[in-house]
Structure 1
């Protein structure tokens, strides 16, 4: 149906009413029968004013449906957090000034935790761990029985055919006394070892001192001839037991053939 004829002129109301009554609605019609019933159209013969009123009611219904569907998508997906109330300049909190006694206490604690005595370390004679001096224990070599470690070392030398394996590092002794870290000291009962510490040199972790032929090798040369290469090496920045530690070394990619 169309309100205009083939020549483009508007059809009179009588012609439109007749065409509307004779028309059979299809899905492509502007007003379907179901929509006409929803709009309140029940009579078969309608005037032009009734048709326009029905179209207005139908448009209002469709617009309300569109608004409802759009309102679902317009809802915010994220929850909006409420902003804290703004404080006035009079209510704002400022840093509290410390007294001179509190400042002196902070400086005193910092010096106590960073002085030489706090950073001082010793090498454990039996596992090589660098332990803080406060956690180390000193045992006279004449009083401590290490026969258990010596027996394990002798057996390990025969099985592995490594004659340089030793039970302790003789260079780590201080005034003829062994230095024991916390872990190795727990394995000592009275004046002897009741068990072999896990990280002990007696387990094959100590191969003796470096031979004279290899003492002058550089770090890179050591990596070239080593059977096992370390992924990280630690060096002292200063001599003495209180020297600081830092990661330092050469970077080089070596062929694996």
Structure 2
């Protein structure tokens, strides 16, 4: 060992004081006080930015009224918004003023920095990402109802409802892409066409009745579908030339699924054996009353694997453009249309 290395080792040995001395009261109080401040609920509350609509910590946001920005930057040259129409006689016109998220008054740091520099934030709603609020007629749609109002069928879905011997119900939906998407010019599609893109499996101790069907996401409310299609025809540009087939709609039953029910008798648990631990002693999954919870599994890994290599705002833009290209109404939450 050289003299220099030996000297360094000696200095290091002297710098280590083990075991360390106990904390004094002042340092202990400061540590506890700092920890308590860091875990305050206010530090974890999130809110949506009125400019981009993305969630951010409330503590990191600023009131839009106090921000020194040029609001004209949020008024696009080409209209990206559209006022809701109630009748065919109503004119098609954009919303007036800056494109902001209704009901939100705060702005995130990223948008504030961009606007302060006189730039339009890439994630801003004014940058072609506005989709509007979800109207009541498009809310609370069942899984099957969402399929009936989609102009493009680009996925095949298999719905499995499993009822355990303890009468607990749960459901899973597996969705994968069609080789060739099917585009409809009249909606809802004929009832027979639904068998090509939707399959329903029911596993349980008894043959399902109307009571069980009512708890699944497979029923169709004809009036709900009618109101949704009429609203989309008035307010969504991709539905302007849509023909609403009331004859096809009347062919859908309201008290049973519109597709064939593949029933399998089983008294076993509804837990997935591959995902259950050996020492698992919990009860069966699902609920005994009310709507059946279900999980959607989309086989989209190949399509999405490259998106992690781009910036977040590009992922958002690509998602919006993808659903636009599929003639999917973006006036509703995007996750709805993974059918």
Query: TM-score normalised to the size of structure 2?
Result: 0.32
Which protein has the larger Cα radius of gyration, Structure 1 or Structure 2? 1
Higher relative contact order (Cα pairs below 8 Å, separated by 6+ residues): 2
Instruction: Output the TM-score relative to the length of structure 1.
Output: 0.40
Higher strand proportion (structure 1 or 2)? 2
